[in-house]
Structure 1
């Protein structure tokens, strides 16, 4: 009897452990998608396939792992998926208990404060279209709007979003003037607030255009037929750093060091080769400064690091995500250089093209990952980081076989940590493409998230189950909420 009971208990434990591992894999699969996928066309899959895969993953994880689904808001997922998670949680409020609603509300509020305003207004408009108007939704809208620094600025720049939000949640506006601007613009001959009056005058007065936010002024400038170059020159003092990058107004001498690392890499790759060469010192210094800032307290602590970076033709991305995979690889190159220890040979990069000049990269050629991984492992690094879309094709499958032999025969004690970071979501596989079962893979969208993603990738090795993953998520949620509340 005792032997039978012990056998049944052991079998139940094994079953539970197996179920936990499967659950952890499901959650990690969703996190990888939420980090990389945006529902847009990629190099090897169309937008419709991307959206279909994302729809399935969101619904699956929402139904089966709701607490973990909400906790994903505290991770380094992209804004597109953060908005979708908030939308789905609010849409299905009736399916959550009181404790879950409170936890979800805090996470949604914290994430909304970190999202760009246009994303939040787009979410609010989607909630209105879906007729989601429960008490929690109205409270979130009210609190978010109350925290906005200048409602008049939002009324001018995000007019439709603010108007629909106020109407949907039945929110009182800060002033009667703002209400007239949104709902009865012809009622007042002029406005006391500078932004509101500038918007009124800009319909017939060109000088008023330069008093408006850049994105609003652009529309009026086109309507008045104003010269694009003259308009950009006069608007330059009112433009944000990102707007100056988007309009290619950042010339030599501008302070690029304040730009986020991945955005800066995208900007560098958008420049002609001649300009990159002429501004080599400035661009390299800016990338290294941004990388040191992104490395933070981890700078110089990773010891010997080798990295394999994919600059093959597929890194060109797609028409809507031009050069995005290559920009992520370039940004990771400078970040890993900052994370590596000091001294000669502490950091060794290996580009798939064989390039030794990261500033003059271009996407071309096949993807000989296996050969480059062999070169990287010959340096006996403490860490090997592979940044690639995972399509090893020169020859196919060599990278996976090299990693399998290395892990099972040459380095069974795991003296070298190997992680694969993939910037491209594979819609057919509902995940980012992997190189080998023995190597953890995590999705990556912004290089700044690399240290956290390397930490998260440990759960993708299949040796830890859902309890360990939930404990990790709980820590991330706690830190995320503390950081956002301190920022407010």
Structure 2
């Protein structure tokens, strides 16, 4: 049995996991970006100082890239702390711009020990096409090479440090970049972000440029450019079903309700089926209470993010469940018609959900129950203590918003576990993590869980 001190340690680590999953240090509905950043920095320092092994092991969890980069930066500052293989695995999962930004931060902080240089060297060596990176992220590649004291010779070295030295490159992408300085046709073979600068410099019409660069666009670039391209008579629509659920939800919610038709519904089901995988249809009877109140709008820098998470979870739970019912606070029946508006009557909707006698109840909300305040917590207390003391109905609260003042995601009740969520695809793993938040598994179990997750990476 875990001691009281070990239970406190377990609770602290779970609190940090919730923060590292949900917070990106940006403004939220009820807190500023400065408050979020200060709160998050304190948590990182506290957990690293008191539980260094568990802090390093958090990289194995489904934390967001912002916090993963903070953990890696802090670990590399300390000699011999953290599993190098786990750090390398996590870097491989992060987007290249995020990794290059991390390397620049390490250089700025003067972190240049042997392990740091080896990690940078190995990450660069593992890139599928470093020449492509050199064209698209040239400043980042140069900074990383210099910081790791790497010798880059031949054409790539010339391109990075003396690009005009050569009159011709044998590496195709480098030669295309060289020709794009004087040959308009060449720029359409470059990545969009690079080609856009050349197009502006050469005065190419925007509509002509978008039409010809379309084959080079990534899925996200296609979505971002959809409206401006349409105004120029160019169609850049992407395969919506190939997108992650929350990103798809954010895009759907940015469109007028009249445009969220059958195409979006089918895309959500395809994306959810892919995320559910072999677990599709295995969760029995599931009921979800989904928050579409005004606070689910989020903030100007995270616009409609909480609502997008709820919408993504709705479709994933539908795929996971044998029988599923989604209850929105607004009582809308069409999930594609939801809007961030109104109060937060969580208590009443939880009563409605429990009346359906589910095997599993999932609540997706920022936890600000205000119609009336506190009803949700009281309903869950009575349900757990009086009506379902044996826990026949599994209840979990998933919260997409970090509360900077409480250093945690806001909880509805101590009677049910609350875990942070950022991406809907992480939902099954977070429900598993909820057993630790509920107290059924203590520090020993949490350590074993982290070790198992790290071993599977």
* 2:197 is aligned with 1:219: yes
Aligned to 2:289: 308
Aligned to 1:186: 164
Measured after TM superposition, the shift of residue 347 of structure 1 is 0.9
Measured after TM superposition, the shift of residue 214 of structure 1 is 1.2
* 2:124 is aligned with 1:138: no
Q: Which runs of 5+ in 1 are unaligned?
A: 1-12, 481-488
Distance 1:227 1:369, change over 3 A: farther
Deviations 1:302-322 (A, max 9, x none): 111110000111111111111
Distance 1:253 1:48, change over 3 A: closer
Aligned to 2:178: 200
Asked whether the 8 Å contact 2:306–2:401 carries over to 1, the reply is yes
Asked whether the 8 Å contact 1:35–1:76 carries over to 2, the reply is yes
Distance 1:229 1:371, change over 3 A: farther
Aligned to 1:296: 277
- Aligned mates of 2:177, 2:220 — CA distance in 1: 23
The farther-off stretch of 237-246 and 66-75 is 237-246
Q: Give the secondary-structure state (helix, strand or coil) at the position aligned to 1:265.
A: helix
Aligned counterpart for 2:43 among listed residues 48, 57, 69: 57
Measured after TM superposition, the shift of residue 353 of structure 1 is 0.8
Measured after TM superposition, the shift of residue 257 of structure 1 is 1.8
Aligned to 1:391: 368
Measured after TM superposition, the shift of residue 186 of structure 1 is 2.3
Alignment of 1:150-189 (within 5 A): 150-173=129-152, 175-189=153-167
Measured after TM superposition, the shift of residue 254 of structure 1 is 5.1
Number of equivalenced pairs? 451
Aligned to 1:67: 53
Alignment of 1:301-380 (within 5 A): 301-341=282-322, 346-380=323-357
TM-score, L = length of structure 2: 0.95
Measured after TM superposition, the shift of residue 253 of structure 1 is 8.0
Q: Give the secondary-structure state (helix, strand or coil) at the position aligned to 1:155.
A: helix
Deviations 1:243-302 (A, max 9, x none): 2122226969853222112211111112122211xxx22211110111111111211111
Tell me which stretches of 4 or more aligned residues in structure 1 moved more than 4 Å: 249-254
Alignment of 1:3-42 (within 5 A): 17-42=3-28
Distance 1:366 1:116, change over 3 A: same
Alignment of 1:56-95 (within 5 A): 56-93=42-79
- Aligned mates of 2:67, 2:446 — CA distance in 1: 20
TM-score, L = length of structure 1: 0.90
Q: Which runs of 5+ in 2 are unaligned?
A: none
Alignment of 1:104-123 (within 5 A): 104-123=83-102
Aligned to 1:455: 432
Asked whether the 8 Å contact 2:26–2:37 carries over to 1, the reply is yes
* 2:241 is aligned with 1:263: no
Alignment of 1:211-290 (within 5 A): 211-248=189-226, 255-276=239-260, 280-290=261-271
- Aligned mates of 1:252, 1:215 — CA distance in 2: 15
Aligned counterpart for 2:32 among listed residues 46, 57, 79: 46
Aligned to 1:467: 444
- Aligned mates of 1:224, 1:46 — CA distance in 2: 41
Q: Give the secondary-structure state (helix, strand or coil) at the position aligned to 1:257.
A: helix
Asked whether the 8 Å contact 1:17–1:465 carries over to 2, the reply is no
Aligned to 1:4: none
The farther-off stretch of 34-43 and 203-212 is 203-212
